[in-house]
Structure 1
Amino acid sequence: MTTRTQARTQPLRRFEMAPVRGIWRHELALFKRYWGSQSFASMVEPTFFLLAFGYGFGSMVAVVGDYRYLDFVATGVVGVAALFTSVFPGMFNGYIRRVFQHTYDAMLAAPVDVHELVTGEALWIAAKSAVYSCTPIIVALFFGLDPSFGMLLVPFIVFCAALGFGLFGVWTSSVVPSINSFDYVITGVVTPLFLIAGTFFPIDSLPQWAQTASRINPLYHAVELIRHAVFGLEPLADLVHLGVVLVFAALMWVIAVRGMRRRLID
């Protein structure tokens, strides 16, 4: 009986941390090989966004609401960085490791189940994103952003948001028919997500239908949480924002595990 047949006929094992730790050791071993190039891209790209929009549009729009435009963009770019540094690794790494490298087949030959594999991969993606995505805040501090204790919450917020988007990427990697199909996802889903999330301009200036779409956009809620953490928390509103981000992550976990299980086992 093959490994896949055995896995298909056995009930789902309970969640164990040992396989997750093993996946993290595997990811860390890989990360030691490419940390330089990945760190450069993950940290420099959002910095360019910040400088281009903050000083480009900032020269024409000095203030947005109660915020200096550079500060408004800096907190928004943190959300954009969280999206990009999580959804793209989830999509491309997930697809390449499943289809071309067969890394996941090798992992499942060990005492690792699909839900543990998906969880370990997503947690690693979210942890890296939580570090890299803080770069715009650090850069903005050198350009006049006032420091606050709430900034210490930003990595936690980014981790929660990146966990959901990383899982979305993993799920996407399990449903696309080819790697070229990611173009549809990037253009049709990822790009609109960060354009209507209040990252570069307030959503109040959008048409009513776009405002409604923004408010069901998990990235919008992550950006609001980041801004409130930096400029001053709003407890009731922030509980709603955090709830949306966590529910999104939980939903993505369920469908990512089902999608990967169907591809790898069923």
Structure 2
Amino acid sequence: MTGAAPRAGTDRLRRFEFAAFTGVWKREVTLFRRYWVSSTFSSVVEPTIYLLAFGFGFGSLVATIRGLPYIEFLGTGVVATSVLFTSAFAGMFTTFVRRKFQHSYDAMLAAPVDVHELVAAEALWIGGKAGVYGCAPLLVAMAFGLDPAPGMLLVPFVGMLTGLGFALFGIWCSAVVPSIDSFNYVVSAVITPLFLVAGTFFPIDQLPGWAGTAAAFNPLYHCVELVRHAAFGLRPGVDLLHVAALVLFAGLMWLLAYTAMRRKLID
């Protein structure tokens, strides 16, 4: 007599099914076709306004930073800001609405899709969009004098990796906050400091020693540095450390996001 067969649900959770992942992506593509204009407008125009306002406003007072025209220094830094806004906000608000109000995830999990496939697909989709939208400020900076460089071809991948981490961060937050109004705490206490202290608008070495050290733990800082190095000259040794920091951040956020979403949707 043969032993009892393993439970189907338990067996499925042990592996990652690509068909389930692509199913979630097909849904995202279908939805994106309906709202891509408004999504692209906000994701591209907002960081571009930052670039133009600070570049020509503050830039009229500060001609160069680190030997670079301020508009070029800022243009490469605002890429990270665009990635942050595109990924973290989508991870927080879109995920919360789909889970809490639309119950989209309940319907998706009724199909052969598990939480780890759902979270991975959502985060990678958001991260992919962030990598593309993050190039907009770079193109604007080119229009104002930034010279193209071969290394800039790496910028979408840097943006995607950073966006993946912040998308997972947003998904995690969406699963632990008690209400949608609680995102105000996340935006004010987490996202705004990360946005301001990332080397986007001014060099980190201008901060007090303790603040400069703390900035090294800011994932957005590593994104800024990678983008600037891609534009002005790669530094393989240092850049590998920046990439490792972003991979570590994404890995940690994956564990938190998956655990929290599974608790909300299954347990």
Aligned to 1:228: 229
Q: How does 1:1-266 map to 2 (within 5 A)?
A: 12-266=13-267
**What letter is aligned with 2:85?**
F
**2:11 and 2:23 mapped to 1: Cα distance?**
22
TM-score (norm 2): 0.95
- SS, match of residue 35 in structure 1: helix
Hey, what's the Cα distance between the residues in 2 that align with 1:7 and 1:85? Answer: 37
> How far 1:13 sits from its partner (Å)?
3.0
Report the secondary structure of 2:148's partner residue. coil
Query: How far 1:94 sits from its partner (Å)?
Result: 0.9
Q: Is the 8 Å Cα contact of residues 13 and 113 (structure 1) preserved in structure 2?
A: no
Kindly provide the CA deviation profile for residues 7-54 of structure 1, in whole angstroms up to 9, marking residues without a partner as x. Answer: 987772301111111111101111111111111101111110100111
For structure 2, the residue ranges without an aligned partner over 5 or more in a row are: 1-6
User: 1:197-255: CA deviations, max 9, x gaps?
Assistant: 00000011111221111011111011100000010001110010000001101111111
Range moving further from structure 2, 9-18 or 53-62? 9-18
The CA distance in 2 between the partners of 1:175 and 1:212, in whole Å, is 29
Corresponding letter in the other structure for 1:169: G
TM-score, scaled relative to structure 1: 0.96
Q: Percent identity?
A: 61
Q: In 2, distance between residues paired with 1:160 and 1:53? A: 26
**Matched residue, 2:4:** none
CA distance in 2, matches of 1:264, 1:8: 15
Unaligned runs of 5+ in 1: 1-5
CA contact under 8 A between 1:7 and 1:265: conserved in structure 2? Answer: no
Q: After superposition, what is the alpha-carbon deviation per residue over 1:49-89, rounded to whole angstroms, capped at 9, x for unaligned?
A: 10011111110001001211100100110000000000000
Letter of the aligned partner of 2:50 in structure 1? F
Query: Which shows bigger deviation, 223-232 or 204-213?
Result: 204-213
In 2, Cα distance between equivalents of 1:66 and 1:176: 44
Letter in 1 for 2:178: P
Alignment-derived partner of residue 3 in structure 1? none
The CA distance in 1 between the partners of 2:221 and 2:124, in whole Å, is: 21
Distance (whole Å) between structure 2 residues aligned to residue 20 and residue 65 of structure 1: 44
